Chain A
Amino acid sequence: MDILITGLLLGGTYSLIAMGLNLQYGVARIMNLANGEMLVIGAFAAFWVFTAGQISPILSIVVVAPLAFLLNWLIYRFMLLPLVRRAKSAGQLEVDSILATFGLAFVFVGIMIATFGGEYFTYSYLAEPFVILGETYALNRVVAFVLAAIMCGLLYLWLNKSRPGMAVRAVAVNPESSGLVGINVSRVSAFAFGLGGAVTAVGGTLISTFLTMDASIGVLFTMKALIIVIMGGVGDVRGVIVASLILGLAETAVASLIDPGLTLAAAYFMFILILLFRPQGLFGRRSS
């Protein structure tokens, strides 16, 4: 039971890391390697607001989310849209966007180091014990999990029950045909990219309450997000949730039952299994 809850909490963290990338890659077709840096920026913002004004990281989401949306929307509009227009095939866009966002990651790291310096930033927020079924957990992780669940739920409902959500899904399935039925593909893509960035930054804000970070740690999160998105299947919210939970549970089970040293091995073992037996991901569609 303890392993189950710890694993679920870790899975919630992972879904925060990966959900934004899923939107960006699945809908806007941008394999955003600067995803982890966006997460660190969100964390930085929370840290800054918390140490400067004792303002709760949860409240700072209200500011972080729109700002991150705007920033990512601008990035898509002015940096990535020219690449999308120029690309002759999906493959070319993938290569171009990987190169461009790889560069962008360095720009972000540079800006963060120039403005905040390179040292570790960490603060204590809700670092209190929280008892579930007689076992103790960190309250900040529980809060992050609950908010992650709410965020994933809202995203899922919005994508599946609303008209704009349907347009987003249509673009995820097939950009060309979506254009034919009157969807403004570049606008929807820009929106999805911005939304993905906002979700990632909010994830960073929540994660900063329990992880110690520094300006150059983003790449770790990008790697984790890539694994989860590919495991879950590109462009499907359910895939990310399920893959995150599986990964969280597997890592916790291995750490508690076998050896903490093997958590990474367990994660990559799962990854290889899925690549071998379901290369399109758990919820992915087989590419035609």
Chain B
Amino acid sequence: MKRRTILKLAAATALAGTMAFGGAQAADTIKIGASAPKTGPLAGGSTVTHWPNIKLWVEQVNARGGLQLKSGKAKLELVEYDDQTNPGEAIKNIQRMATQDKVDFIIAPYGTAFNLATAPIFDKYGYPQIAVSAISDQIPELTKRYPRLFFTLGTTTAFAQAVADILVQMKNDGKIGSKVAMVNVADAFGIELAAAARPIFKKAGLDVVYDKSYPLGTQDLSPIVKGAKASNPDSFVAWSYPPDTFGLTQQAIIQNLDVKAFYTAVATCFPAYGGKFGSKVNGNLGAGGINPDTPAMQAYAAAHKKITGKDADGWASATTYASLEILEQAIEGVGSADRDAVTDYIKNNTFKTVMGDVTFKNQNNDVFWTVGQWQNGKYYGVASTGRPGEKPVQLKSGWN
């Protein structure tokens, strides 16, 4: 009996201690939670695009003394979880960060499916969710249903449309014919983009002469490239994921798939892509882009390299960083960790980011890069929905 009382007393003291500590801590730190893949199929993408930017941002903010709140400077404290590329795990992580770690803000997860899966949890606990690696045509419905969810990277249709626009432009200029070979990875992303592209291509007067899908993780893509080549296309479009972006490109080089426009989707903008293929991929088109020549982007690229030891990619890396800048400016604008006020601030203000100015219209950023191209060893944005600095598209001339 006595022992039990002592135990209770000890527990109560410990609890009081942590509460007091917690209270004291709240004034000078802001706790940031992050959950994204560190293992599993999406880890290869998130360790290029997602995690390095979080590290960069936290280090930079803390190096200048923290965020400026009304109560003084507040340093950032980061809590990280691996969702193992498993939506169930992602939901648990968000819940845990909201209820047990009691973080002040949560960085949106990586991947379209993961942002959609966790949106109800973000909403339930009242956290703003600035989604980056999430491309969807359902943005109006989703933002209506979840008033704290923001989109930054664009829509499926816009991405398919931009590719069609580029091909049509080349065709009208008399540089290529109308025959397109189109393939896609049989996964939500690839299927959705291929489905969006079919009517758009048709309407644009493009003739899809080869249209096939392949399973995720296909170990030999040579039959697909051979099939595409046999259809004698003028351009090649693949709605692909990272491993197959690499695989299709390699096979196209080996088979000498001589097209004037060669497009692969995710990971074309990765530094590893240029690193692997070098000058052979000059003229290759890919999803998304940046304008790497603005002073802000140059400073960002240098800091990214210095702090994380890696190069940023040519698309979502900078947007991920921009989403953190938006969060930072909104917290400082409000002057406290009041999540509702921060959410309103995001909705009603314009933010200066590394990508340029960002304003949310109905919780959606509708000014984004859609297509990029490797030109002389560097990946440039060549098409956007209103970002300045688009480079003119070049014709692809062989694999050398």
CB of B43 closer than 8 Å to a CB of A: yes
Instruction: From B67-75, B127-135, B207-215, B359-367, give the one contacting chain A.
Output: B207-215
Do residues A127 and B243 form an inter-chain contact, with CB atoms below 8 A?
A: no
Query: In whole angstroms, how far apart are the Cα atoms of A252 and B217 in the complex?
Result: 15
Instruction: From A65-73, A116-124, A179-187, give the one contacting chain B.
Output: A116-124
Contact with A along B119-153 (1 / 0, CB 8 A): 00000000000000000000000000000000000
Q: A211-B243, A260-B223 are in contact. List 13 more A-B contacts (CB 8 A).
A: A9-B220, A119-B310, A120-B243, A120-B270, A121-B272, A138-B250, A138-B254, A212-B246, A215-B39, A248-B220, A252-B220, A260-B214, A261-B212
CB of B157 closer than 8 Å to a CB of A: no
Please provide the 9 A-B residue pairs with the shortest distance between their CB atoms, ordered closest to farther.
Answer: A214-B44, A118-B47, A255-B223, A212-B246, A260-B214, A118-B43, A120-B44, A261-B213, A119-B47
Do residues A252 and B223 form an inter-chain contact, with CB atoms below 8 A?
A: yes
CB of B46 closer than 8 Å to a CB of A: yes
CB of A48 closer than 8 Å to a CB of B: no
Instruction: Provide a sorted-by-A list of 27 A–B residue pairs whose CB atoms are within 8 angstroms.
Output: A6-B222, A13-B219, A119-B47, A119-B48, A119-B272, A119-B310, A120-B267, A120-B272, A124-B277, A124-B278, A129-B255, A136-B254, A137-B222, A210-B250, A212-B247, A215-B43, A216-B39, A216-B40, A216-B44, A216-B85, A248-B220, A255-B224, A259-B212, A260-B183, A260-B212, A260-B214, A261-B186
Query: In whole angstroms, how far apart are the Cα atoms of A3 and B220 in the complex?
Result: 12
Output the nearest chain B residue to A13 by Cβ-Cβ distance: B219
Q: Which residues of A contact B215 (CB under 8 A)?
A: 260-261, 263-264
Residues of chain B touching chain A, judged by Cβ–Cβ distance below 8 Å, are: 37-41, 43-44, 46-48, 85, 183, 186, 212-215, 217-220, 222-224, 226-227, 242-243, 246-247, 250-251, 253-256, 267, 270, 272, 276-278, 310
Query: In whole angstroms, how far apart are the Cα atoms of A13 and B224 in the complex?
Result: 18
Q: Which residues of B contact A96 (CB under 8 A)?
A: none
Query: In whole angstroms, how far apart are the Cα atoms of A215 and B41 in the complex?
Result: 9
- Of A215, A220, A251, which is within 8 A of B220 by CB? A251
Do residues B276 and A118 form an inter-chain contact, with CB atoms below 8 A?
A: no
Query: In whole angstroms, how far apart are the Cα atoms of A87 and B254 in the complex?
Result: 51
Q: Which residues of A contact B243 (CB under 8 A)?
A: 120, 211-213, 217
Query: In whole angstroms, how far apart are the Cα atoms of A252 and B220 in the complex?
Result: 8
Query: In whole angstroms, how far apart are the Cα atoms of A213 and B243 in the complex?
Result: 7
Q: Given A118-B43, A120-B44 in contact, is the A263-B217 Cβ separation under 8 Å?
A: no
CB of A94 closer than 8 Å to a CB of B: no
Output the nearest chain B residue to A257 by Cβ-Cβ distance: B223
Cβ of A79 to closest chain B Cβ, rounded Å: 21
Q: Which residues of B contact A136 (CB under 8 A)?
A: 254-256
Query: In whole angstroms, how far apart are the Cα atoms of A216 and B250 in the complex?
Result: 22
Name, among A117, A119, A128, A263, the residue most crowded by chain B CB atoms within 10 Å (CB to CB): A119
Query: In whole angstroms, how far apart are the Cα atoms of A2 and B230 in the complex?
Result: 13
Q: Which residues of B contact A124 (CB under 8 A)?
A: 250, 276-278
Do residues A123 and B276 form an inter-chain contact, with CB atoms below 8 A?
A: yes
Q: Which residues of B contact A211 (CB under 8 A)?
A: 219, 243, 247
Query: In whole angstroms, how far apart are the Cα atoms of A123 and B256 in the complex?
Result: 19
Q: Which residues of A contact B43 (CB under 8 A)?
A: 113, 118, 214-216
CB of A10 closer than 8 Å to a CB of B: yes
Q: Given A137-B222, A138-B222 in contact, is the A129-B272 Cβ separation under 8 Å?
A: no
CB of A109 closer than 8 Å to a CB of B: yes
From 236 to 288 in chain A, residues with beta carbon under 8 angstroms from any chain B beta carbon are 248, 251-252, 255-256, 259-261, 263-264
- Of A120, A138, A263, A264, which is within 8 A of B242 by CB? A120
Contact with B along A197-224 (1 / 0, CB 8 A): 0000000000000111111110010001
Do residues A113 and B38 form an inter-chain contact, with CB atoms below 8 A?
A: yes
Output the nearest chain A residue to B247 by Cβ-Cβ distance: A212
